[in-house]
Amino acid sequence: MLRGRKAVVTYSPAFTLVPTYECFNRCEYCNFRVDPGKDTWLSRDEARERLDGLWEQGVREILILSGEVHPASSRRSPLIQLIYDLCQLALEHGFIPHTNAGPLSWAEMEFLKEVNGSMGLMLEQIRSDLPVHRQAPSKDPKMRLQQLIWAGELQIPFTTGLLLGIGETPQDCWNTLEAIASVQKQYGHIQEVILQPHRPGSQQHYSGQAFSPDQLPKIIAMARTILPPEVTIQIPPNLVADPQWLLQCIEAGARDLGGIVPKDEVNPDYLHLDHDRLELLLATKGWQLQPRLAVYPAYDSWLSPGVQAVVQQYRSSNS
């Protein structure tokens, strides 16, 4: 993508709301979860207080990032309703919600589509026997792949991705990317694929090492050969420690840096670079850092009227 004579790298000016950190999964690398019943859920009043003033700070996306209540739990329905209400609250403040709450049923996805600009779920790896997932039932790749398909059928703009460095092989990565590409070719709804390198966190139980940064540009280049050209490759800049490796990732084909937030809730040990420093770094190689919305323009017609109204208001003011 070119703007003038400069090549563009995008990011989303975002803020995260966490309805709950509780999760029935026990992924060994997780630095996010608490045990079921051990967390106080975010209230609507607390969320309203956090949203106030964010527009003036440049925020445009509200990431609703939730732990998972078991589908059979009596508390599952209240959680989905809370997520809906938080998205509605974000819309009322002029923000575009993006929800990632683990695998959802068809009915849950259809319900949440009404108040989201886009949604997401990491496929992580298509391989089903990774030891890090042995206590994480909802990391079943068939279940997660099903959600990618449902999102396509429901016309939900979607983000998915790979987690790298959790015991997979290069062939596993290839197979995972091919699975994503196959779904995209059928439905055309995947905006971005995240290539997320594992970096150890202070709360995890996994003893594996960080994903080697010198391998990431190679994975990006491989992904670019497999994924359809309209799918943007995204990398989280706070997990690519060396600025030079970050630049190499962009040269290899990454074109988006995801949501740049005050705190990365999934990787709380790793802070994002200051926006101005990141902008200056990219400029050294001729790249222009540019904000984007949580939904790409090609998908605006898929949005519910309430979400579309907020998106169009923003697009009109920046045209």
Amino acid 203: pLDDT: 84
pLDDT per position as a tens digit, 83-103: 999 999 999 999 999 999 999
264-282: average pLDDT? 92
Whole-number Å distance between alpha carbons of 242 and 233: 19
Q: How confident is the model at residue 317 (pLDDT cuts 50, 70, 90)?
A: confident
Helix (H) or strand (E) holding 118: strand 118-120
pLDDT per position as a tens digit, 192-227: 999 999 988 888 888 788 898 889 999 999 999 999
Q: What is the pTM of this model?
A: 0.95
Q: Take residue 206 and report the two structure tokens written for it.
A: 């996994």
- 4 has a pLDDT exceeding 50: no
**Which value, in Å, is the radius of gyration of the alpha carbons in the chain?**
18
97-126: average pLDDT? 98
Amino acid 213: pLDDT: 80
Instruction: Please state, as a whole number, how many other Cβ atoms lie within 10 Å of the Cβ of residue 288.
Output: 17
- 1 has a pLDDT exceeding 70: no
Amino acid 5: pLDDT: 45
- 125 has a pLDDT exceeding 80: yes
- 3 has a pLDDT exceeding 70: no
Q: How confident is the model at residue 249 (pLDDT cuts 50, 70, 90)?
A: very high
The closest of 192, 193, 119, 205 to 163, measured between CA atoms, is 193
Question: Which range, 143-152, 199-208, 271-280, is most confident?
Answer: 143-152
- 259 has a pLDDT exceeding 90: yes
253-272: average pLDDT? 94
What 3-state class would DSSP assign to 259? strand
- 17 has a pLDDT exceeding 90: yes
179-196: average pLDDT? 98
One-letter amino acid at 245 equals: W
Amino acid 276: pLDDT: 92
- 47 has a pLDDT exceeding 80: yes
Amino acid 198: pLDDT: 93
Kindly give the pairing relationship between strand 2-3 and strand 6-17: antiparallel
Amino acid 207: pLDDT: 79
Whole-number Å distance between alpha carbons of 212 and 197: 8
What 3-state class would DSSP assign to 289? strand
Amino acid 319: pLDDT: 60
Amino acid 6: pLDDT: 62
Residue pair 139/133 in contact (Cβ under 8 Å)? The answer is yes
The closest of 11, 33, 219, 221 to 125, measured between CA atoms, is 219
CATH fold, domain 2-317, is TIM Barrel (3.20.20)
One-letter amino acid at 257 equals: L
Average confidence score pLDDT of the chain: 95
Q: Where are the domains of the chain?
A: 2-317
Instruction: Please state, as a whole number, how many other Cβ atoms lie within 10 Å of the Cβ of residue 295.
Output: 24
